Amino acid sequence: MDMTNSSAVVDSRCSVMFHPVSTDRASAGRVDGPGPGRPWSAVMNSREHDDYATEGMPPPLSPDSGDLKITDGPAPGAGRSDDELLRRIAEWGIERRQWLVGFPVNLDFDYRPLADFLAVSLNNVGSPYTPSGYQMSTKPFERAVLDFFAGVAGAEPGEVEGYITNGGTESNIFGVRLGIRRYPDAVFYASADAHYSVDKFAALFSMDVTKVDVGADGGMDIEALADACRRHPGRPAVVLATVGTTMTGAADDVAAIRPALRRAGVERLHLHVDGAFGGLIVPFIDGYGPWAFDAGADSVAVSGHKMIGLPVPSGIVLARREQLEGVRHYLPQVDTDDHTLTGSRNGLNPLLIWWALRRLGRDGLAERARHCLDIAEYAERLLAAGGAEPRRCPHSVIVSFDRPSERVLRDWHLLDSGDRTHFVAMPHITRDHVERLCRDLGGARR
């Protein structure tokens, strides 16, 4: 693969700091894109040789449990042998990431310049907005990240506060918990296609969740939501709206929810937006419109690892300041205020996110979103040409298509969803990935 080819690697403007791994093996079987005299079907069905497009893919690497056993004292051979094992696993992961196209995670990152912080115990215990007795924190960096995301989510300066969480589920628990504290007798509503964690925290709060059907565009049917509320006259509502569903990438019409429920007689509403996936895509689509606080949301969640790219999961949650007063309290043990769900909090993630955003900025995130939408459109066209029956919701970077063979599912990290699977266009994915996947699909069907 020619690494200078614009279709071979993500444009450097979209990159945090990407060091491409060797692609001599990864590029084996690469086919040229469509062009004069080369229709889509030729790309789909081309077989320059008998090997699949994933030739050279490293086989699964699973260490023997005996090599990993922890003993009473230093393990025999610990040290050099452990270093070798970990080196092999790291090399495998870096090589293998080239074929991960089925999950909403961005692998276009490299945080090794921050390796020195692995020798520091960073702990952001308590609120990001007040210092604590533990001085090795990254709270100033966390506040800078939160201020940035507040602007992306349509909030005015000083209107919202929040914190950096361990991931989307914690962020959603925090937002829904705010609503339940405000309205203990509320009915909890969510889209039928909302994140699977909805059932987890409904059980945690000992609440039933009313699942609302989705419309033709994949988003929640707002009139169906209003009808469901009418069946509980006088009851408050806690609504979890989704911007970027896990399986289709569809987005609920957040701006339509509050007016529709007002017409349905709902006078007390807490509206939480799960924008873990779409929260860093839809703000950068021309003409999309309000989707978060400027659309009437009370709390908003965004992922830290999906579009930005991190080595570990992370999330961001924000809420209107007045709604945090009921959960804010003082922790004398560590001399700080607190409104978070957890005690000790990861102080490294805020530093990683800040470092990435300083190099991307709002313009870089917008470029990434445009790149992902372009790749999704390209994948949709090629998959259609190959007869894979692709479907894509409006403004989505996810393309679902007919379920391929077990080998293709495994090799490309595609999710087995019955008779369908899906391709997720993320910043690390290029047109070359799409072409190789489609070639592999054509070969697997022979």
Mean pLDDT of the chain: 87
Which residues face 123 on adjacent strands?
346
Q: Which residue has the higher pLDDT, 358 or 63?
A: 358
| Region of poorest pLDDT, from 41-55, 136-150, 201-215, 338-352 | 41-55
How does pLDDT run across 392-415, given as a tens digit for each residue? 999 999 999 999 999 999 999 999
Measured at the CA of 220, the angle between CA 218 and CA 222, to 5 degrees, comes to: 135
What's the CA dihedral at 211, 217, 219, 222 to 10 degrees? -80
Residues 6 and 2: their CA atoms lie apart, in Å, by: 9
Amino acid letter for position 395: H
Q: Which domains does the chain have, with CATH numbers?
A: 12-104+361-444 (3.90.1150.10), 123-346 (3.40.640.10)
Q: Which residues contact 119 (CB under 8 A, 6 or more apart)?
A: none
Q: What is the mean pLDDT of residues 150-159?
A: 97
Reduced to 3 states (helix: H, G, I; strand: E, B; else coil), residue 34 is coil
Sheet holding 315-320, edge to edge: 160-165, 315-320, 299-303, 269-275, 237-242, 187-191, 209-212
Provide the percentage of residues in the chain whose pLDDT is more than 90. Answer: 75
396 is catalytic: yes
Give residue 26's pLDDT.
Answer: 34
The per-residue pLDDT for 387 is 96
pLDDT-derived band at 235, boundaries 50, 70, 90: very high
The pair of structure tokens assigned to 47 is: 């077989």
User: Out of 396, 400, 405, 417, which one is annotated catalytic?
Assistant: 396
* Sign, CA torsion 373/375/379/381: positive
Per-residue confidence band for 158, with pLDDT thresholds at 50, 70 and 90 = very high
Q: Residues near 337 by Cβ (< 8 Å), separated by ≥ 6? A: 126, 127, 129, 130, 328, 329, 330, 331
Structure confidence by residue, pLDDT tens digits, 172-212: 999 999 999 999 999 999 999 999 999 998 999 999 999 99
pLDDT at 166 over 50: yes
Query: Residue 444: which pLDDT band, with cuts at 50, 70 and 90?
Result: low
Overall average pLDDT of the 375-379 stretch: 98
Stretch 281-297: mean pLDDT, rounded? 97
The pLDDT value recorded for residue 140 is: 98
Distance between CA 91 and CA 88 in Å, rounded?
5
Angle between helices 254-263 and 222-230 (to 10 degrees): 30
The alpha helices in 205-253, defined as continuous H runs, are 222-230
Q: Cα separation of 120 and 128, whole Å? A: 19
Q: What pLDDT score does 135 carry?
A: 93
Task: Summarize pLDDT for 55-65 with one digit per residue, the tens.
Answer: 556 666 677 88
- Give the pLDDT confidence of 239-258 residue by residue, as tens digits: 999 999 999 999 999 999 99
pLDDT at 384: 97
CB 60 within 8 A of CB 93: no
Compute the distance between CA of residue 427 and CA of residue 368 in angstroms, rounded to an integer: 6
How confident is residue 78, by pLDDT bands cut at 50, 70 and 90? Answer: confident
